[in-house]
A and B are shown apart, each in its own frame.
Chain A
Amino acid sequence: MAYVATRGGERAIEQSQRLFKAEMGTITPERVAEIRAAMPYLIDRVMGEASLYDEDLAALALAQTGGELYEAVLLLRAWRTTQPRIAVAEPVTQGALFTHRRISAAFKDIPGGQVLGPTLDYAHRILATEVLDGQTNSPEPVEAAAKPSPAQQPSVAAWQAENGLLSGAVSDTLTGNDIPDVTREPLLFPAKRAHTLQSLARAETGGVLALGYAAQRGYGQAHPTVNELRLAEAEVVVTHPRGTQFSAGRVKVSQAEVVSKKGEQLELGFSATLGWNEVKVIAAATLDLNSKGAPKGSATEEEFFLYHTEGVESSGFCIHFKLPHYVTFQSSLDAMRDAKAKKAAKEKSPELAE
């Protein structure tokens, strides 16, 4: 019965998980609340990639996985998949966004004004090492501007379309449950516009950056100009069964418009995601801008970048190589050894081996 005695799979699994959890200690509601309060940008990144907007669940996922980002996103996606789709919110329009930050690199000034908002863009990146010596580092109070910038602003692309620089996007007439949902139907190519934008919205930040950067650096055809980058809050407007519309709350969103000259017109690339994540939307909009007419198999082709920036799929496949592959390997060994033996026999007596 020696064979049976070696069957330790279940116990090994249990103990390996205990080892992982032991390092992080007890997860308390306070720890989750602290993660949520202290790491808003990490929370945003995770919520975007999970395509699930819930700061508490995102903080819990980070606590539970010790900050292993791919695991945290997978936890949230697996939770999300069990949730019913109760309602489809009204479309969010750019003009209606409650805007915190909104900048354009295309013009010195834009209708509605440049709003710098919260950013580290011009910070000197110096570590506050005094904190490690026991001091605290508290933010200086923000001084309000003499004249507040408007909460809502039009998009720069809308102005360009009015001036004949850009052919405005064709508006999609689909509403409610008819809007294609990439989590409930397969992604096929050429992809539906909704599927493309949804896939980019939930793509893995690092993956989008790598491919977007490749396009920006020269492997794409179009050089992006940031037409508009916006960090905002959007009202989630849903319809009650009685028929009344109401806002169920606000979610943080980021969006980027990038443009490039194509003949006498500007071409537009667009991306938006849940949470504030500037790098992701600029890189994703660059990919969108470059995808039209991109050669098959190039990094800026839609099929290429949508497949390869899907973080749950790419990370899962990458770590699956840790699984045993000895059957597959044995099968290859068999073919290799036989081919080698054939070759050796041929070299020994060429006429016999044929």
Chain B
Amino acid sequence: MTLKTLTKPWEPMSYGFLDGSAKREIRRKMIKAIAVPGCQMPYASREVPMARGWGTGGLQVSLTLVNPSMRVKVIDQGADDSVNAASIRRFIARVAGTPTTMDTLDADLIQSRHRIPEEVLREDQVLVLQVPNPEPLRPVQPNMSIARQMHADADYGRMWLQLYEQIVRSGRVMQGASYPSLVHGRHVMTPSPIPRWDVPKLHMAKHLTILSAGREKRIFAVPPFTRVEPLVFSDVPYRVEEHAELTCHRSGTRGFFMNEIPQDNGTSTFEVSDSEWGVKSIRRRDGEDVALGETWYKNGKMSS
């Protein structure tokens, strides 16, 4: 036996950047995460050529899932052209040779920071959400070891108490994004900092959602057709952002999640947050033959 027989010819980089052992670990953890929906699975989380907190968790999952024929879409805060989304998209294409797209309907894999596209995702699509903080219990219990025990015991009393206190103090639940949700009736998870508008899209969805936190080294998942229920009291219904009546000033599309753009005269205008939906709406308006997919929200209302 010589060293030569034990090695392969030197290559500067593995396919998809991560080496085989890293990908194998992530695959195993993804399977575990799918088997126990909403439960956080620790993983080693390799360092990648991007700073922690910039989508390294989502990136590792994407790099593990892609093959050269998968079409990849990357969004940040709803926009495909946001600089960090452009950077991640370019990196995946560079190290994995994948085709890229901005159209939700054409994508096989969508890596997203803090939004779920407005068009309904299909069974054959995978959504990878970047997660800054995987622990919904962090506001009530910053210690990870104790929080882990609380999940094991389904000890969510302090979560409920926190929501109750908000209602008493402010007259409503004050949670903005990252609304804590019960998955498959067992684990409370953070849906990542998606707006409340997007959380109902996860409930009994046809697609698989993988959530991955690179810095905090946790993977969790919402398998297809799984219950995702925001924590609410029976007499205080869940409320999404009041964007149902807003109209995008650029595309004219209405009844979707909007970005508020402050104006010099003290007022605001709005533009649709899902940038590609906006682009397609403009092209359709201008007479192009553009396919618009079915949307989760119709006339500003979530269709069940």
Contacts and interface: CB of A to CB of B under 8 A. Distances in A.
Is B truly associated with A? yes
Contact of A331 (B45, B84, B145, B176): B176
Interface string A180-214: 00011111111000000000000000000000000
B144 A303 contact: yes
Nearest to A12: B83
Nearest to A77: B47
A327 B115 contact: yes
Interface in A8-23: 8-10, 12-13
Interface in B126-181: 132, 142-146, 170-178
A342 B172 contact: yes
A11 to B, nearest CB: 9
Contact of B279 (A3, A327, A339): A3
A296 B146 contact: yes
A78 B175 contact: no
A334 B85 contact: no
Interface string A262-305: 00000000000000000000000000000000001100000100
A334 B52 contact: no
B44 A185 contact: yes
A297 B54 contact: no
A323 B114 CA distance: 12
Given A81-B46, A316-B51, A320-B132, A327 B77 contact: yes
A334 B258 CA distance: 11
B17 to A, nearest CB: 7
B13 A296 contact: no
Interface stretch (B1-9, B201-209, B296-304): B1-9
B282 interface: yes
B176 A339 contact: no
Given A74-B47, A184-B21, A323-B54, A331 B279 contact: no
Given A80-B47, A185-B44, A186-B43, A312 B52 contact: yes
A103 to B, nearest CB: 35
By size class, the interface of chain A is 35 or more
Contacts of A2: 250, 282
Interface in B37-88: 42-54, 56, 76-78, 80-87
Contacts of B194: 327
B171 A342 contact: yes
13 contacts: A9-B83, A9-B85, A81-B19, A81-B22, A84-B19, A241-B6, A313-B215, A316-B52, A320-B54, A324-B76, A331-B197, A338-B242, A346-B171
Interface of A: 1-4, 6-10, 12-13, 74-75, 77-78, 80-82, 84, 183-190, 241-242, 296-297, 303, 307, 312-313, 315-320, 323-336, 338-339, 342-343, 346
Interface of B: 1-3, 6, 13-14, 17-19, 21-22, 25, 42-54, 56, 76-78, 80-87, 90, 113-115, 132, 142-146, 170-178, 193-197, 215, 217, 241-243, 250-251, 257-260, 273, 275, 278-279, 282-283, 286
Given A74-B51, A316-B53, 17 more contacts: A7-B80, A9-B82, A13-B87, A78-B49, A81-B18, A81-B19, A296-B143, A312-B47, A315-B51, A316-B56, A317-B52, A317-B215, A327-B257, A329-B176, A330-B257, A333-B260, A346-B171
